[in-house]
Amino acid sequence: MHWSGIIIGIIAFLIIGLFHPIVIRIWPVFLILGLICCISSLFLSQIILSGSLAVLGCAMLWSVIELKEQAERVRKGWFPANPKHIKKEHDKKE
């Protein structure tokens, strides 16, 4: 029996769970780290570590994309803006 796939699946589930509530303010860091993780995973021979690093990298890259898409959805009025973010944006303009 091979457990590698289920272990990577559990790790992916945990990574996605951790990234879900994160509000990303420093998206360039996530972009760089995501690329580093994905590229690094190509050079690891241990399948669980390689797969987990790839999942982490892809989750970071997805977070950057999702952050930008969510801002666009709020701008279009499809979703309500976070009141905390509205206040911060208002403070920046003053």
pLDDT for 87 equals 52
pLDDT for 10 equals 93
pLDDT tens per residue, range 80-90: 776 766 555 54
pLDDT for 2 equals 82
Domain boundaries, the chain: 4-93
pLDDT for 93 equals 52
pLDDT for 85 equals 60
Host H or E run for residue 87? helix 83-93
Give me the residues of the chain with pLDDT under 70, please.
Answer: 20-21, 23-24, 82, 84-94
pLDDT for 65 equals 86
Q: Among the residues of 20-46, which ranges form H helices? A: 27-41
Residue 57: how many other CB atoms lie within 10 Å = 21
